[in-house]
Structure 1
Amino acid sequence: MTPQQAAAHTYTVQYRTTDRLGSPLGMLDKSGRFSDGTRGTQLSFDIFGKARNRDFSQRTGMDEGQTLLEPTTHNGFTGHEHIGAADIIHMNGRAYDYNLGRFLLVDPFI
């Protein structure tokens, strides 16, 4: 990319806020407010890791379980990758199903 092309681009800076478990709470704009222009910029998770609305109501329809922070981040509950199409959380070596509240594989180290 040439300097002229780089000067023509504008970038938006957003900050991801997290709770004490590392789960994202939303995206803040440069002034420190939650971004209002896009759907899903504020979220929370139920006790098993399923994404829900910021007002703690359950999501319904196509976005059920998805964080809706894509493409900014795919991280969800405890900072791990949510795979919304499969309703699982990829926890770096183990798959966790938040509908069952269980890991899908046994622990390799006992």
Structure 2
Amino acid sequence: MATTPDIRIAPGTQEWGQAAASLILSVSQQAIQAHGRCLIALSGGSTPKTLYQVLVTSEWNARFDWSRIVFLFGDERCTPPDHPESNFRMAQTELFQPLNIRPE
């Protein structure tokens, strides 16, 4: 069964980050209600950085139940975790550390 893609266009990076945060909040709340948790696969590259910066703001941080969200890496470069181009490093410094999310 084919589905029609949901394509959204934002006028700038901050607007994109806000729109993405809103969508992720909605989907995560639905997943948590239905399954008790939400799995999020993190993308690689530099695009997610804007989203991470939005999510760690007090405006958005307080809206999420981070204890019920499981993060997975969907894409990682073949670099050490502390390498400047490591997707893990960016997620760690821009998302996990500011939100005080620790590995389990």
Higher strand share: 1
Q: Which has the higher contact order (CA 8 A, sep 6+)?
A: 2
Q: Which is greater in Rg?
A: 1
Q: TM-score, normalised by structure 1?
A: 0.27
Higher helix share: 2
